[in-house]
Structure 1
Amino acid sequence: MATCGEYIETVFPSIDDDLKQYVEGVLENGADEFEDSEEVYEAVGEVLQEVSSDKTEEDIRNICNELLNILKPNKSKVNNGSMKVLNAPVHLGSMVDNLESNIDDIKSIWVMQRDDSLKVDARKLEKAQAKLQEKQDKRTKEVKAVVAPKLQTATASQVTTKERKSRFNFSIRWRYGLVGRNGLGKSTLLRMISGGQLRIPSHISILHVEQEVVGDDTLAIDSVLECDTVRADLLKREKEISAAINSGSTDPNLNTQLSEVYAQLQNIEADKAPAKASIILNGLGFTPEMQQQATKTFSGGWRMRLALARALFSRPDLLLLDEPTNMLDIKAIIWLENYLQNWPTTLLVVSHDRNFLDTVPTDILHLHSQRIEAYRGNYEQFERTKTEKLKNQQREYEAQMQQRQHVQVFIDRFRYNANRAALVQSKLKMLEKMPELKPIVKEPEVVLKLPDTEPLSPPILQLNEVAFWYNPGRVIFTNVNLGAVMDSRICIVGDNGAGKTTLLKIIMGILSPTSGMTHVHRNLKFGYFSQHHVDQLDMDVNAVELLQQTYPGKPIEEYRRQLGSFGVSGDLALQTVSSLSGGQKSRVAFARMCMGNPNFLVLDEPTNHLDIETIEALGKAIQKYTGGIILVSHDERLIRMVCNELWVCGSSSVKSIEGGFDEYRRIVEQELEAVAQSK
């Protein structure tokens, strides 16, 4: 049988890959919850309708019915079967809703038969149930008629509804952090907003920072300034009028037009624009010299920074940022956190940086179970509120289950007692009025397990008078004197290009120092996690085969066990690497690195592509690891969680600083403040 994705491609051959992945994700994540094709239609029907304008609503509903058959091929067989197996108290109201010949079927479930003279009158019971159903239908219609105009703040109530459409309004000057597990569609949602696939008023300007700036001869500072189209048009007009006047034109209106242009330029403070653009570029790491370089001279990472600078300078009504901290070093992240706290319009940001989410957002949008819930406050407040909410929901569910069981016992005991018919009907009404609650299903906890190690006697690792340069004119660092032991938790920080990755490669022996000596214990075994780990994986094999290539000759169970310790289990381990998400590929890379049983880990930007839960799990795994760790990261929470020593790269040196990350952050903020004052 075809999969949902294959069927969608057949029916919608021109569907966009991102949309197809989004629909597949909704269907796969909600497979266990869909009860009928109507629920499938409510989940993905509108998206599919947008894909093909030549299909009617009835066509889309038929397609949704076929998708349900693919997801649950045995559902119709189960529903049409004649045998009923009861493993819970009978709910007569539900049976009346679903059975055509309800009285006969209700009778058929009882094993013991009693004298008919003692039973409640069947016709009266049927009439009472019909009235209950009529009232319930009326209430349902009234509830569906009231659609919330915006996403509601989370409450303790967990009353279920078949209305799966999330509707909410963005508020001006509010900063939203969109969070959720990897693969749920956060980035897809941003693309749908920016692509006009969701209903956004046409007068709202939207800018999605997703692609890097195209490299050409435009200077970096000019690339940012040209985003202000009003200023650019006025300057162009001013130049044209001035040229006409200088060429001897006798048009009397030219001087008036030139005065008007000057007035408009003054009103928009056009003369201050270069300074504003320079401040933004400097905050993102562009030195004055770099700001005067052509965009084509920058690498992809720096062009992404340039795209972010253009977005910050242009100030759209709705700014969409997808993992903005991935391309930045800690100094730039600190600047961006401070800058966005005064952002004048609406911001929607996807980030895995816990500290960033604690600093920037005013609200958190939690994407889970094909819906979005809004929480006031930053990520820390969101976690507290969500935890308390889940506890309340579980208590609410357990209390209702006890009440239902108590009522059901009474109904089962007296349903055939004519003298208690009125009480039975009253209890039935009580059950019908109770909202349907579902048990809390917690997201599975992410657990990573690093290998056990044997202790080594010091010295373990020592750098003596180490210097390195690619050519005499480009010195990376000199006079480095540092060391590490088996319980070291060292984090290397510094500006991009300061030599952090170069230092790691010298430590592992991949590069030789230009001068000085490195001393490494003979039994020290490095495990290296490169920031470009995804590029180093074979995309054409599955995860098990990838481990087999690196460590051949072991039982399949051992490979699967290794992958399972990093959350790559079940069918996921048998998917081709190319089909995995960025976070899943990272976990496969971790599994491969650790299968060699290293006793000293060198991790270069390991948090890229990982969600918050996995980063938290990585921090806990590092805390339990008995070997040494040297880490390059810009994730402040991870650094604070695991590191006990900080090495700072910069000014052609590498130094260990006292005071840890707090001291480093203080130094960075002083530098940023000094630069801002100089502007």
Structure 2
Amino acid sequence: MAACSDILTKYFPSIDSELTDYIVGVLDSSAEDIHSTEDVYDAVGDMLLELSEEGTGEDNIRDICLEMIKALNINNDSKVTERQKLNAPVHLKSMAEDFNQQSEESASIWLARKEFNTVVDSKKLEKAEAKSKAKLEKRAEKEDKPDDCQIGMATASQATNRREAKLDASGMNRSYDIHVENLDVAFGDKVLLQDADLHLAVGRRYGLVGRNGIGKTTLLKMLSSGELRIPSHLSVLHVEQEVVGDDTIAIDSVLESDLVRSSLLQEERELTATLNSTSPSTLDGRGSARLGEIYAKLEEIEADKAPARAAQILNGLGFTPKMQEMTTKEFSGGWRMRLALARALFMKPDLLLLDEPTNMLDIKAILWLENYLQTWMKTILVVSHDRLFLDSVATDIIHFHTRRLDYYRGNFEMFLKTKTEKLKNQQKEYESQKQYRDHIQVFIDRFRYNANRASQVQSKLKLLEKLPKLTPIEKEPDVILKFPDDIEKLSPPILRLDEIDFYYSPDRPIFKKVDISADLDSRIAIVGENGTGKTTLLKILIGELDPVNGIRHVHRNLRIGYFSQHHVDQLEMNVTSVELLASRFPGRKVEEYRHQLGSYGVSGELAMRPVASLSGGQKSRVAFANMAMVRPNFFILDEPTNHLDMETIEALGKALKKFKGGVILVSHDERLIRIVCKELWVCGNGTVRSVEGGFDEYKKILEEEFLQQ
């Protein structure tokens, strides 16, 4: 049987080990009834045909069956045809087409098992099935773990262009464009992409957009990990992990990311030390020549300008000169993520993959990054929920939906207009086709039993059969969020801080003499650079922190709904969303919990899934539903958009606008601020000040600061 396994691996290099075991198991359990090549073909031929490349005939598969029967030491008098080797990589996309009809026990969409009319020993087959079932149960246990444990479950297949593969193997491929064709991607038992094409042209900046949980991050990780085959000479960098905290200085951490420069400088130091320690009579001419080559190379890559460029990038991302000299271990996780972004920008990879880069940045840093990326000469693929960021950066939009990728030229605003127009035209065409079909069907139904019109009816039936398949336009469902509207009205003053001082250390005050107030009509956005105390101010407002000096005034009937990203992180992961609400607000009917979750887009099957299996955006919606269970009349929200897709952010903005209570919002999402807020508070230099002119005036202030730097 080991020989049969080797034969399968030889002719089908991409075959899964479990599928190999299954085929060998079928042959083993049927050994007593196999006497000829035809018997082997009857047992496993259909499966081998599915594994082979398109166009492979039955004769080729019978040749493989003959080789297997020889390996089984069974005599065969059948004629042998000339064997044709199957050199092309196996493309398994066709095996996913019947995904919805698979057995629940299938371990993966690529391994859907077919029924075979074989005569087998039932006891042996039961033993083989038991082993297979045990493996599947193990895999099912893994599938129940949180998302970050499941990334290894993502699988992909793609078509291979033989010409490009040969060029790549020979090292002659000099193209910087990326073409991945007939791409299938699955995550566990969920099909993410089917028969899709990914095309990235050098120098273009692509925005990848789509709903939460559709697979955008998975696609980026597959590109960066090598799961998808792209030209091997391309350098790919995916900014997803923060820099490790150690004793390395921040600016050195950025400089060290350029491995070519670092290795040349190291070699230059070693050669210089060697030449300086060698007597003139024994100087090595080759060492001197190599030193000259190194100097020429360093000049070519402008190594002397690197420190200034690294400092410029760090400064743009919010690192002051003092912070640039701090060790990486002194920074929080958010700042180390900024360092990772700085290293990526400094390295200038051929393909830069960015996943929600604005999440870690304040508005000032976002504006700088927009300007910086507009001059980027290589290829970028960015996932972002910030539509104004995509308007500024993207030259193309890739729309990820319904297991396919659609391409649009232009930024996000142009994409929305083009997509809307495209859907309108498709709907008109659909309605026109349907009307034409209905007209023909009316004629058929009217004269179906009229002998004089029989030939015409037959003609119409044939015409109806020849018409293209009528497919309704697939529209993504609208996202709707509903906050409570039957809130208790309160008379001012509602929430006020008088002469507030706050600090953790007296020599480093965060706030001095702060006077602010808000009521149920307030729609306030709090902005400012990271580290200026925005979250601290919110915690003082909700009463989580007590001021050192001054007084916090709050209405006795005020009910505050507070949202922060920590609330998402602190959700119980091993229970369903319904069970989570029931544990925190016991004594209510299940229907009430489900209705509450449904108001925030967590409905149907989603509400009964473990929280760990939900996407980041879906977890945020659960956190919103949990926050609103107390029916608050005032919302205080700290960066609520970090894991939300654009449609949900738009829905959140509309819901907050309709909300009858007060809103104080900390956000770097310009779009959300413009939808919701009427007033802007700026934190900085120990104060909180209101900006007349709102967000436009604040942007002007930041732009002036850029010009002064």
TM-score using structure 2 length: 0.73
1:603 maps onto 2:637 in alignment:
yes
Change (3 A) 1:532 1:399: same
Secondary structure class of the residue paired with 2:695: helix
Secondary structure class of the residue paired with 1:471: coil
Matches within 5 A, 1:105-116: none
1:239 maps onto 2:246 in alignment:
no
Please say which of residues 516-525 and 405-414 is displaced more in the overlay. Answer: 405-414
Change (3 A) 1:59 1:505: closer
CA distance in 2, matches of 1:177, 1:220: 29
Alignment-derived partner of residue 353 in structure 1: 386
1:326 maps onto 2:356 in alignment:
no
1:180 maps onto 2:213 in alignment:
no
CA contact (8 A) 1:648 1:655 kept: yes
Which amino acid counterpart does residue 591 of structure 2 have in structure 1? E
Alignment-derived partner of residue 69 in structure 1: 102
Q: For each residue in 1:434-468, what CA deviation from the matched residue of structure 2 results, as whole angstroms up to 9, or x when unmatched?
A: 32231123211111111122221111122111111
Match of 2:543 among 504, 509, 512: 509
What residue ranges of structure 1 are gaps of 5+ in the alignment? 1-8, 15-36, 46-52, 74-147, 153-162
Matches within 5 A, 1:37-76: 68-70=101-103
Secondary structure class of the residue paired with 2:504: strand
Alignment-derived partner of residue 612 in structure 2: 578
Match of 1:217 among 215, 228, 247: 247
Which amino acid counterpart does residue 595 of structure 1 have in structure 2? M
Secondary structure class of the residue paired with 2:102: helix
Please say which of residues 203-212 and 542-551 is displaced more in the overlay. Answer: 542-551
Change (3 A) 1:13 1:301: farther
Alignment-derived partner of residue 258 in structure 1: 291
Which amino acid counterpart does residue 175 of structure 1 have in structure 2? R
CA contact (8 A) 2:179 2:230 kept: no
1:612 maps onto 2:646 in alignment:
yes
Change (3 A) 1:278 1:149: closer
CA distance in 2, matches of 1:294, 1:168: 40
CA distance in 2, matches of 1:187, 1:540: 23
Q: For each residue in 1:177-212, what CA deviation from the matched residue of structure 2 results, as whole angstroms up to 9, or x when unmatched?
A: 001111110000111111212221111111111111
Alignment-derived partner of residue 646 in structure 1: 680
Alignment-derived partner of residue 169 in structure 2: none
Matches within 5 A, 1:79-98: none
1:457 maps onto 2:491 in alignment:
yes
Change (3 A) 1:12 1:213: farther
Matches within 5 A, 1:395-406: 395-406=428-439
CA contact (8 A) 1:151 1:373 kept: no
Secondary structure class of the residue paired with 1:167: strand
Matches within 5 A, 1:489-508: 489-508=523-542
CA contact (8 A) 1:488 1:630 kept: yes
Secondary structure class of the residue paired with 2:688: strand
CA-atom RMSD in angstroms: 3.1
Alignment-derived partner of residue 198 in structure 1: 228
Please say which of residues 638-647 and 561-570 is displaced more in the overlay. Answer: 561-570
Match of 1:469 among 503, 525, 529: 503
Which amino acid counterpart does residue 373 of structure 1 have in structure 2? D
Match of 2:425 among 382, 386, 392: 392
CA distance in 2, matches of 1:425, 1:203: 60
CA contact (8 A) 2:524 2:679 kept: yes
Q: For each residue in 1:47-86, what CA deviation from the matched residue of structure 2 results, as whole angstroms up to 9, or x when unmatched?
A: xxxxxx9xx979997797686233799xxxxxxxxxxxxx
CA distance in 1, matches of 2:19, 2:533: 50
Matches within 5 A, 1:330-479: 330-413=363-446, 423-424=456-457, 426-428=459-461, 430-452=463-485, 453-479=487-513
CA distance in 2, matches of 1:330, 1:340: 15
What residue ranges of structure 2 are gaps of 5+ in the alignment? 1-15, 22-45, 55-85, 107-177, 183-192
Alignment-derived partner of residue 199 in structure 2: 169
Q: For each residue in 1:198-232, what CA deviation from the matched residue of structure 2 results, as whole angstroms up to 9, or x when unmatched?
A: 22111111111111111222111111111222211
CA contact (8 A) 1:341 1:360 kept: yes
Secondary structure class of the residue paired with 2:309: helix
CA distance in 1, matches of 2:549, 2:302: 53
Q: CA deviation at 1:536?
A: 2.2
Q: CA deviation at 1:575?
A: 2.0
Change (3 A) 1:13 1:194: farther
CA contact (8 A) 1:467 1:479 kept: yes
CA distance in 1, matches of 2:593, 2:449: 61
CA distance in 1, matches of 2:667, 2:623: 17
CA contact (8 A) 2:523 2:679 kept: yes
Which amino acid counterpart does residue 219 of structure 1 have in structure 2? I
Which amino acid counterpart does residue 270 of structure 1 have in structure 2? A
CA distance in 2, matches of 1:165, 1:65: 13
Q: CA deviation at 1:424?
A: 4.9
Q: Alignment length, in residue pairs?
A: 548
Q: CA deviation at 1:282?
A: 0.9
CA contact (8 A) 1:175 1:360 kept: yes
Q: CA deviation at 1:665?
A: 1.1
CA contact (8 A) 2:93 2:194 kept: no
CA distance in 2, matches of 1:503, 1:12: 59
Which amino acid counterpart does residue 657 of structure 2 have in structure 1? Q
CA contact (8 A) 1:151 1:374 kept: no
CA contact (8 A) 2:560 2:633 kept: yes
1:274 maps onto 2:274 in alignment:
no
CA distance in 2, matches of 1:543, 1:200: 40
CA contact (8 A) 2:180 2:229 kept: no
CA contact (8 A) 2:574 2:610 kept: yes
Please say which of residues 339-348 and 432-441 is displaced more in the overlay. Answer: 432-441
Sequence identity (%): 64
Which amino acid counterpart does residue 201 of structure 2 have in structure 1? S
CA contact (8 A) 1:599 1:628 kept: yes
CA distance in 2, matches of 1:331, 1:475: 23
Which amino acid counterpart does residue 235 of structure 1 have in structure 2? L
CA contact (8 A) 2:398 2:407 kept: yes
Q: CA deviation at 1:514?
A: 1.0
Please say which of residues 402-411 and 450-459 is displaced more in the overlay. Answer: 402-411
Q: CA deviation at 1:517?
A: 1.5
CA distance in 2, matches of 1:71, 1:406: 43
CA contact (8 A) 2:539 2:545 kept: yes
1:560 maps onto 2:594 in alignment:
yes
